[in-house]
Amino acid sequence: MSVETQAAPRAVRGSSILTNPTVRSIVIQAGLIIGLVIFVWWIVTNTARNLAEANIASGFGFLWSRAGFDIAITPIAYSSNDTYGHAIVVGIINTLIISAAGITLATILGFVVGIGRLSGNFLIRMLSTVYVETFRNIPPLLVILFWYFGVLSVLSGPRGLEENVFGVYLTNRGLQVPSLVFSPVAWATLIAFVVGIVATFALSRRNKAHQLATGERKPLLWPALGLIIGLPIVVFLVTGLPAELEFPKANRFNLAGGLQIRPEFIALWLALSIYTGAFIAEIVRAGIMSVSKGQNEAASALGLTRGQALRLVVVPQAFRVIIPPLTSQYLNLTKNSSLGLAVGYPELVAVGSTVLNQSGQSIEVVCIWMLVYLTISLSVSIFMNWFNSKMALVER
């Protein structure tokens, strides 16, 4: 009897540490972290030992050895004498370029089509629906191959082309347009452009303050156009036209000179934009439809025009619904840019797989791929989260 009565309180005392929620959670979490560290360490050492046993070189030292291959599109200086690391940087920049260009066009397409799906005009509504339903249901790779092999490769070649006055040629070598060659004085024009933008911001703030104080709205659009476009043009003329057009000229094989946009870029850009644009259109439509009809009616009751109601009442509320899923579409587009491999657009995966194959360092290259895509995706997420918090409902 006495043994039992003494045993009960001991059991309670003994279990008080075990059942303490703080202690328990710390112990479990510490255990998990230790387990994870051991697991990762074990994978790394095991892989390294296996590689050494198979006589396969490992480590990141290869990034500093000579690449030896050329890259078709080089936004920064690169030659085959540069290093593997340099080649990978070129690939990263190409990925960023195609992603930025794709996101821009996809967003424009998505908003136009998304609003089009809600249009009162039957034709616009039907065309938008057909576009969304078609491209949302085709794998992006097929869309890329369609543009590359189906549209751009069947264009005529660059030889025997008739010269045209504008210097714009669309051939199976891509789109060739005249390029502007600036002389040093052209900096003045660029500075004028920046000044124009800054001045427009200042004007917009002053107008807002004026409206808050007096209720009177002052015009912004025309002064802004004058500052941003007019001012640089005036400076450009005053400094004596410090730029000239370079026209593409046919040589024995190609059109040389001017600005060349390669078909690999065009195919990938159009395909990614059209594919992602279809998803964005649906997100925009959902966002606009989520704003209740009463908001529109209230806006009319306050005397806002239709345009003002859309701009000041509907769109800001719709944005709160649109932005989070829009972020995922931007991330999707960035990751889908790796399909450029199929048509030879030298983005990160295409350049990386050449590096992988020439150097044989597959594990290291795969690690670099994962790290770069993770960094890009997290950066886009952080930016969009910031934008989202700016747009979020501010309760008063």
Which residues are near other proteins by CB under 8 A?
35, 39, 43, 46-47, 49-51, 53-57, 68-72, 79-81, 149, 153-154, 156-157, 172-173, 251-254, 256, 263-264, 341-344, 346, 350, 353-354, 356-360, 362
Cβ of residue 260: shortest distance to other proteins, in angstroms? Answer: 9
Closest to other proteins by CB, 181 vs 366, is 366
Considering the complex, state which of residue 79 and residue 134 has its C-beta at the smaller distance from other proteins.
79
Pairing of strands 255-256, 243-246: unpaired
C-alpha distances in angstroms, 268 versus 89, 154, 204, 300, 334? 20, 16, 38, 44, 12
Q: How far is CA 16 from the centre of its chain?
A: 54
- What's the Rg (C-alpha) of the chain? 30
Nearer of residues 353 and 381 to other proteins, judged by Cβ = 353
- Minimum Å gap between C-beta 85 and other proteins is 17
3-state DSSP call for residue 184? helix
Q: Which is nearer to other proteins, 72 or 374 (CB)?
A: 72
Least separation in angstroms between residue 55's CB and other proteins is: 4
Q: Which CB atom, from 300 or from 359, has the smaller least distance to other proteins?
A: 359
For 260, phi then psi, to 5°, come to -110, 125
Nearest distance, CB of residue 188 and other proteins, angstroms: 34
Q: Which is nearer to other proteins, 107 or 361 (CB)?
A: 361
| Least distance (Å) between residue 255 CB and other proteins | 10
| Residue 212 to residue 209: CA distance in whole angstroms | 5
User: What CA–CA distance (Å, rounded) separates 376 from 249?
Assistant: 39
What residues are paired with 270 via a beta bridge? none
Q: Please, which residues bridge with residue 255 across strands?
A: 250
Strand 259-261 and strand 255-256: the pairing is unpaired
Assign residue 216 a region: left if phi > 0, alpha if psi is -120 to 50, beta otherwise? beta
Nearer of residues 149 and 387 to other proteins, judged by Cβ: 149
CB of 56 to other proteins, least distance (A): 4
Nearer to other proteins among residue 71 and residue 313 (C-beta): 71
DSSP 176: E
Vertex 143, ends 139 and 144: CA angle to 5°?
115
Dist. CA 108–CA 99, nearest whole Å: 14
Min dist CB 225 to other proteins, Å, is 40
- For the CB of residue 190, give the shortest distance to other proteins in the complex, in Å: 30
CB of 50 to other proteins, least distance (A): 5
- DSSP character at residue 343: G
Q: How far is the CB of 145 from other proteins (least distance, A)?
A: 9
CA dihedral in degrees (270, 276, 279, 283; nearest 10)?
A: -110
The residue among 54 and 123 lying less far from other proteins, judged by its C-beta, is: 54
For the record, the structure tokens of 257 come out as: 């000179």
User: What Å distances lie between residue 86 and 60, 140, 151, 361, CA to CA?
Assistant: 13, 29, 33, 16
Q: Which is nearer to other proteins, 129 or 171 (CB)?
A: 171
Distance CA 245, CA 255 (A): 15
